[in-house]
Structures are given as C-alpha cells and as structure tokens.
Amino acid sequence: MKSVTIGIAMILSAAPVAAQTAPAAPAPTTIPAAKFTLDTPLETIVADPAGKAIIDKDLPGTTTHPMYDQFKGMSLSQIAPMAADKLTPDVLAKVKTDLAAVK
C-alpha cells in the first residue's frame, strides 16, 4: 500500500513540471489601436503634447475658443454636427489621419 501511495505522489508531483515545460504559444500579431481617434474626448487628446500639437495645427483656435470648457469633454465626432462649417469631412479626415500617427 505504501508503494502505491508513493507512486501516486510521484505522478501528481510530476504533472505540474510537465505543464511548465510545454512550449509557449506564440503571441498573436495584431496592429496596435490608434492612441487617439475622432471619438476620443477632446480634453484627452489635448492633454497629450503630440495630440495638442495636432489639434492646434489642424484646428487652430479650438483650445482657445471661449466655449472650450463647454465642449472639451466631447469628441470631434460629437462636435462636428454643431460646427459643420469648421469640421468638414475633409478636415475631419485630415485630423483622423494625423491622430492615428500618434503612438
């Protein structure tokens, strides 16, 4: 009976070692998501120096607008309908491209 107990103990103690020596699965290769999108709140983009530089370049006057505090929590996608003359599809496409380059 003692040898059976020892044999079971050896099998059970060997199982974790076998699991640890198995080769690791390769990490999935995915393209990292853009740091900022048109759906990111404006204040989040502006908090990053690279993001603020893009907003200042592509949308000059946005961060100094008198109503900035009122709309800074909104994304450019949410602001666009309210400022259709300033946030045209072409302008938004440019901002989107520039924001996607920020890592």
Q: Are 58 and 51 in contact (CB under 8 A)?
A: no
- Tens of pLDDT along 24-63? 666 666 666 779 999 999 999 999 999 999 999 999 999 9
- Find tokens 């103990």 and name the residue: 9
Mean pLDDT of the chain: 84
- DSSP H or E stretch at residue 13: helix 2-20
Residue 15 vs residue 94, higher pLDDT: 94
Residue 98 to residue 103: CA distance in whole angstroms = 11
Q: Residue 3: what pLDDT?
A: 55
Contacts of 58 (CB under 8 A, 6+ apart): 91, 94, 95, 98
Domain regions of the chain by residue span = 42-100
- 6 band by pLDDT with thresholds 50, 70 and 90: low
Residue 95 to residue 31: CA distance in whole angstroms = 20
pTM above 0.75, yes or no: no
